[in-house]
Structures are given as structure tokens and as C-alpha cells.
Amino acid sequence: MSTRTSALSLITRAMLAATALTLAGTGMAHAACAEGLTPLAQRDTPSGDASAPRLTLLNLIQAAEQRSKAVGAAKLLADAARSDIEETKAGALPTATLSAAIGPSGDQMEGQKTRNQFQVRPGLTVSAMLYDSGRNSHLTQWRTSLAEAANQGQISTTEQVALQTVILSFERDRYRLHAQVWSQYAAKVCTLVDSLEQIVATDRGRGSELVQARKTLQQVLLSRAQSMTQLRLTETRLRRLVGDSLPEANGLSALMLQTPALPELQSQATGASSIAQLAAQADAADSLARATDAGNKVQANWLVSVAKNATGDHAGNWNAGITINVPLLNPAAAPASTSARLRAEAARVQRAESLDALQNRLAEVHEQASAALVRARDTVTVLKSSERVRDDTIAQWQQLGKRSLFDVISAEGDHFNLRIAYVDALHDGQESIALLYSLAGSVKLPLN
């Protein structure tokens, strides 16, 4: 090498010195060229079974729902609300109470001695509601509506977990394809570097082109490393939801490409779990208001009580009857009833506001999904033109010498950046479509 460089001019010596410094920092690039950058692309070739990606995603959703502590907590709250219904219903049933009094007692009549004795006095009381102006019925309906709200809350929580799983799965596929595109780009630049190394071996004056090509390779490898990092981070987040075992993420790039009609989505949204939950809360507030009013009306109960002395003369007593309570003056009743009715009205207004916001949100996301898919289709058209440009440019550079290396690298960069843009547009559209279905009801709908 020293024998060759001795014949070069000072300018050429300086250029080669710079080239040598660049080569010292490109060990990773050379290793990448040696490996060929093909394992990722080969591993991620989609399978021929079109239903496999859907089944894979459904299995991931099921695993996430089973593992989610938030879903488990929501289920426990729904179960507790159903138990509250049973408690309220039981308020109308008879109750029995066993009591006992143990201790000394005494009595004295005029002109007689005091009688003292130790008593054991058991007693039994049975009572039940006879009439309550419908209060218990309204309370039961209140509890039933709260249970429905809790049930809708469980559905909403489950849907959020499912949507998060779908979005992370799409993000995983996005970065997988990013890494694959960057790998193919790097392989292309590696081929260019190999060609330039052969050229520079006979024409030292083109050493700067080799430096430029190696710099481009380093930049591409850096982008590939960033995509791999994002892929690993996404998989870490996905494992937290579904567990350590992750299936291959093949075929997800063409899973949700049909944008549903907006009017149909907005119609379905009226029954979405978030809206149904607010409706149930409004019904619960109405029932509580009616129960509050009934509590200030006539109440009647029947009662039977038996008590007996277990010591001494074994005397006992019993009584039975009906107790009637008629409220005459209760200053707190009117404010309590007004408060309950205002809360019911507030819940209805909140539901209307939430539904209106949901309808607008659906329109926004629908526009985003449509625009993303149009962008993906337009990018395909540009990609075809880009493919012709890059082929012509490299042919002119290799054969005719009418193009510079900068033109070649620029054409290659434009082409592969367009491929990245296509991947992004495709996944942006699919994530928006998944969000549309989730907002309107269930993200599982297009997967079943």
C-alpha cells in the first residue's frame, strides 16, 4: 500500500488520508455488508394464510383481556353492584332477630317486700315491610341502573385494553417493516460500496465517492438501528399486556383497509359502552330521586315480638301489631329531592354532551383514516415512478457517466424514504380504522 501511495500527488494523499479516517469508523458498515442484511426480511415474509393475522390478533386481544388487572377490577366492581341489587331486594323481606337479656332484676309493690332475682330473658322479634310508598322498588331500580353502569364500565375497560393491544400490534408491524426497508436500503448501498471499492482500486481519483457512499451506509444503518430500538420498545409494551410469548407479526399491514361508512358508525355510537354507562347513571339518578320522594311518604311495617323469662316464675310477654309512620314535617326532604333530580338532569346533559363529542370524534378519525389510505395509494403511484428514476439513474452512472454518485444516492434515498412513507400511511390508516370501530362499539368487529 505504501508503494502505491508514493506515486500519488499531495492532493491525492490528502484525499486518501481522509478516506482512511472514514474507513476507520465504518467497521459496523462493513460488518453489515458482510452479513448481507437479509435475515430480517426472510424471517418476516408473510404467510399464505389470509386468516392467520386475524386469528393471531384475536388471540392477543384475548390474552390481554385475561391478564389485565384493570379488567379484573372492573369485573369485581360489576359483581359488587349486582350484590347490591340483592341486598336492596332483601329489604322487603321479613327479618328475624333473636335477643337475650341476662342479669339481676327486682320489683317492689306497696306494703310488700322487694323481690330480687337473677333473670335470663330471651326474646324473638320478627318484622317486615308492609307498605313503603314504592321506596324499596325505586331503590332496587337505582341499584339495577348502577349495576348496568358498572357492567358498561367493565365493557369499556375491556375495549380499551383490546384497542391498546391492536394499536401496539400495528406499531410492532410498522417498525418491523421500517427495519426491513432500511435493511434493504443498506443492502443496496452495500452493493454500491462494493462497486466503488473496485473502481477506486483502479481510479484513485474517485475515492471521495467511496467516502460519500460509506457515509450514506452509516446513516442508513443508524436509521435501521433506531427502528429496531422502537420495535423492541413496542414489543416490551405489548408483552406487558399479553405476556412474554409473542407470535410472529406477519400480514398485519393489510388487515384493516376498508374504511367503514361514517353514518353507520355514528348510528352504532349511540349504543357504545361509554354512552350506555352515562345513560345508566342518569337512570340511576332518576330512580334515586323517586326513592327519596317515597321515603317522605307513608311507611308501614308489621311486627311480632315474644320474650320469656327462663328463670324464676317463668313469666313472659308478647306483642304484635302494625306500625305506621306518616311524615308531617321534614325540612330536609324538599332539598334532598331537588338535589337528586338535579343530579339526574346533569347526568342526562352529560350523556348528550358525550354523545355529541363522540360523533365529532368519529368524523375526525374517519377523515384521518380516509386521508391516510389515500396517501398510501398515492405513494404507491409515486413509488412506481421512483423505481424507474432510480434504475435509470444508476444505469447512467454506471454505463454512460452522465450522472454523479450524488444523483444515485439521492434517487435511492428518495425511493426508500417513499417506501417508509407508504408503510407509515398504511399503518396510520389501519390504526385510525381500529380506533373508529372501538369508538363506535368494538375493535373486534372487523376481526370476527
* Domain residue spans of the chain: 29-91+144-297+334-440
The domain 29-91+144-297+334-440 belongs to what CATH superfamily? Outer membrane efflux proteins (OEP) (1.20.1600.10)
Q: Which residue has the cell 365493557?
A: 155
What is the share, in percent, of the chain residues with pLDDT greater than 90?
Answer: 47
pLDDT at 220 over 70: yes
Query: Strands 299-308, 316-325: parallel, antiparallel or unpaired by DSSP?
Result: antiparallel
Measured CA to CA, the distance from residue 227 to residue 235 in angstroms comes to: 12
What DSSP state is assigned to residue 80? H
pLDDT at 128 over 60: yes
Residue 121: which of 312, 393, 328, 342 has the closest Cα?
312
What would the mean pLDDT of 295-313 be, rounded to a whole number?
A: 81
257: helix, strand or coil: coil
What would the mean pLDDT of 163-181 be, rounded to a whole number?
A: 95
Average per-residue pLDDT for the chain: 83
Residues paired with 323 in a beta bridge:
301
pLDDT, tens digit, for every residue of 11-57?
A: 233 333 333 333 333 444 455 564 444 444 333 333 445 578 899 99
Tell me how far apart the terminal alpha carbons of the chain are, to the nearest angstrom.
67
Measured CA to CA, the distance from residue 363 to residue 272 in angstroms comes to: 16
Beta strands in 132-203 (DSSP E): none
What would the mean pLDDT of 366-390 be, rounded to a whole number?
A: 92
Least confident of 77-91, 373-387, 402-416: 402-416
Measured CA to CA, the distance from residue 182 to residue 419 in angstroms comes to: 10
- How many other β-carbons are positioned within 10 Å of the β-carbon of residue 432? 21
Classify residue 100 by burial, with Cβ atoms within 10 Å: 0-12, 13-18, 19+. exposed
> Nine-digit cell at 409?
444516492
Q: Which residue has the cell 363506535?
A: 440
CA distances from 373 to 165, 179, 335 (A): 22, 22, 56
Query: Strands 299-308, 95-107: parallel, antiparallel or unpaired by DSSP?
Result: unpaired
Residue 431: which of 381, 376, 358 has the closest Cα?
376
What would the mean pLDDT of 259-274 be, rounded to a whole number?
A: 93
pLDDT band at residue 401 using 50, 70 and 90 as cut-offs: low
Residues 6+ apart with CB under 8 A from 160: 70
CB 436 within 8 A of CB 368: no
What would the mean pLDDT of 81-105 be, rounded to a whole number?
A: 86
pLDDT at 66 over 60: yes
Phi, psi dihedrals of residue 440, rounded to the nearest 5°: -85, -10
Least confident of 46-60, 78-92, 299-313: 46-60
Residue 60: which of 446, 444, 445 has the closest Cα?
444
CB 278 within 8 A of CB 354: yes
Least confident of 223-227, 299-303, 308-312, 353-357: 308-312
What is the share, in percent, of the chain residues with pLDDT greater than 70?
Answer: 83
pLDDT at 313 over 80: no
CB 200 within 8 A of CB 206: yes
Measured CA to CA, the distance from residue 405 to residue 206 in angstroms comes to: 10
44: helix, strand or coil: coil
Rounded (5°) CA angle 112-115-121: 140
Sign, Cα dihedral of 164, 170, 174, 180: positive
Least confident of 84-93, 300-309, 416-425, 427-436: 300-309
Instruction: Walk across the sheet containing 299-308 and list its strands.
Output: 95-107, 115-131, 299-308, 316-325
